[in-house]
Amino acid sequence: MTDGPRRPHEYVPRSGSDAYSVRSYDLDLDYRTSTNRLNARAVIRARANVPLTVIPFDLVHLRAKRVKLDGDRRTRFAQSATHVTVKPAKPLAAGAEFEVEIEYDGSPRPRRSRWGTIGWEELEDGVLVAAQPVGAPTWFPCNDRPDDKASYRIAVTTEEPYTVLATGQLVDHSVARGRGRWEYFQAEPTSTYLAAVQIGRYTMEPRHSAGVEWLLAFPPALARPVLKDFAPVARMLEAFQERFGPYPFPTYTIVVTEDPLEIPLESQGMATFGSTHADGHGGSERLIAHELAHQWFGNSVGLIGWGDIWLNEGFACYAEWLWSEADGRESADALARRAHRMLAGLPRDLVLGDPGPDLLFDDRVYKRGACLVHAVRLQLGDDQFFALLRAWCERYRHASAGTAEFRELTGGFADEDDALDSLFDAWLLEPALPRLPAAKPTRRRG
């Protein structure tokens, strides 16, 4: 047992502030790929949650040049290695709406963290953003908390040969004097770590499947393997909407970079894969399902704090097993029991409900989380289980929730509250690995 769960922000204690909440980010980025030089302006509209004498924004490796608070050019500010702190001439009252404009520049690069280097990253010929969990400040000033969701307008100007893909829907594209400007708007509330910009020489192939507009963007040289390997997305959209409810965003974009990537990257309404994930033989099909499932689990239904990461990764991992089942291959039960056998041979030093920052992305969080989801399915039965998933995705659509909210909602679908409480306590609060419940006949879906 741990001494008690950490508070939501103890995993990243120097990131984000509870003192205010952001309503919208308006970002104008002028970027030169040849020199990795960024000149940018951010307009941030927010609301004070408490009286504010200072307003801190996360910003790393970039220099704030000018700051205005509610249009005041005389606004004072200070900058450290990780923050820009705006200093109002007089305190802002709790409940006050305010607008901060920050002009900034520099050569963006990833930041070092205990989870590796994350954030804005140069490719061989382009850019990608991999921001989970604290990489967003490498390209814009922000309140870097997963539960502080906001709308986004992102405009990027860069050299004409490049395609820019960013969070949201494309609302404008123009070319002037050899430079292209791409503007995207995301109305749905979005966490800072899920905002993204990807720049490359891409071919774009639009698709429409199961009522969803989706887009494939890839280097022309990878056309054959990409078109083959990502064809199952059409059927995944149908299967997941049956199980989880309607796809939660207006569009879905899949970017495949020419560079190899160790793991795919999720962002709001988008997933980014490397050339390593397009082998022409479906070798990454489970990862394609995993990233698509994150649009429901992690993106639409977001986290209150990083300690509840199992809700993101456990459900996305379980979606891999559901896709196998829906596609007529191995059942989720068979895959869960295989994962359980693997977990049984690993150290028992992880508490799923509070893994701690060092184990935040440990594979045991993914697999143990998915096994817990399967245990809930076995406890509830298929009809109640899939009704629970749809209710979870509907109740917290475009909001944030944690383990307590999931446990409470699950109780409404259970006949035996005590049995369900014991199940959750064993899987979430103890490092020992519980047994999976006995398998029950499952109804084949889809």
- What confidence tens digit (pLDDT) does each residue in 226-278 have? 999 999 999 999 999 999 999 999 999 999 999 999 999 999 999 999 999 99
- Other beta carbons less than 10 A from residue 173's beta carbon: 12
Q: pLDDT band for 1, please (50, 70, 90 cuts).
A: very low
Q: What is the distance between the terminal CA atoms of the chain, rounded to a whole angstrom?
A: 40
Q: Give the CA distances from residue 284 to residues 107, 147, 225, 356, in Å, rounded to whole numbers and listed in that order.
A: 33, 30, 11, 29
- pLDDT tops 60 at residue 445: no
Q: By the 8 A CB rule, do 62 and 41 touch?
A: no
Q: Which residues have a catalytic role annotated?
A: 291, 366
Answer positive or negative: Cα dihedral of 418, 436, 7, 414: negative
Average pLDDT of the segment spanning 36-53:
98
Distance CA 156, CA 254 (A): 19
Distance CA 105, CA 377 (A): 50
User: Which of 194, 208, 324, 367 minimizes the C-alpha distance to 272?
Assistant: 194
Average pLDDT of the segment spanning 178-203:
98
- Other beta carbons less than 10 A from residue 139's beta carbon: 30
Average pLDDT score over the chain: 95
Distance CA 209, CA 74 (A): 52
290 carries a ligand binding annotation = yes
pLDDT at 416: 73
- Other beta carbons less than 10 A from residue 422's beta carbon: 13
Q: Give the CA distances from residue 376 to residues 21, 348, 414, in Å, rounded to whole numbers and listed in that order.
A: 34, 21, 10
* pLDDT, tens digit (0-9, with 9 covering 90-100), for 104-163: 999 999 999 999 999 999 999 999 999 999 999 999 999 999 999 999 999 999 999 999
pLDDT at 149: 98
pLDDT at 8: 53
Distance CA 56, CA 139 (A): 16
Distance CA 52, CA 333 (A): 52
Q: Residue for token digits 């889809």?
A: 446
Amino acid sitting at position 234:
A
* pLDDT, tens digit (0-9, with 9 covering 90-100), for 346-370: 999 999 999 999 999 999 999 999 9
Distance CA 215, CA 221 (A): 17
111-113 β-sheet, strand order: 111-113, 116-123, 126-130, 197-200, 163-166
Backbone φ and ψ of 83, nearest 5°: -145, 150
Q: pLDDT band for 441, please (50, 70, 90 cuts).
A: low
Average pLDDT of the segment spanning 274-284:
96
Average pLDDT of the segment spanning 324-343:
98
Share of the chain above pLDDT 70, in %: 96
Average pLDDT of the segment spanning 75-93:
97
313 carries a ligand binding annotation = yes
Residue-range domains of the chain with CATH: 20-198 (2.60.40.1730), 203-295 (3.30.2010.30), 302-429 (1.10.390.10)
Q: pLDDT band for 10, please (50, 70, 90 cuts).
A: confident
pLDDT at 3: 43
Q: pLDDT band for 7, please (50, 70, 90 cuts).
A: low
Distance CA 383, CA 388 (A): 9
Amino acid sitting at position 147:
D
Distance CA 372, CA 206 (A): 37
281 carries a ligand binding annotation = no
Q: Write down the H helix ranges in 174-260.
A: 223-229, 233-244
Q: By the 8 A CB rule, do 314 and 263 touch?
A: no
pLDDT at 418: 77
Q: By the 8 A CB rule, do 378 and 436 touch?
A: yes
Lowest mean pLDDT across 5-14, 225-234, 331-340, 388-397: 5-14
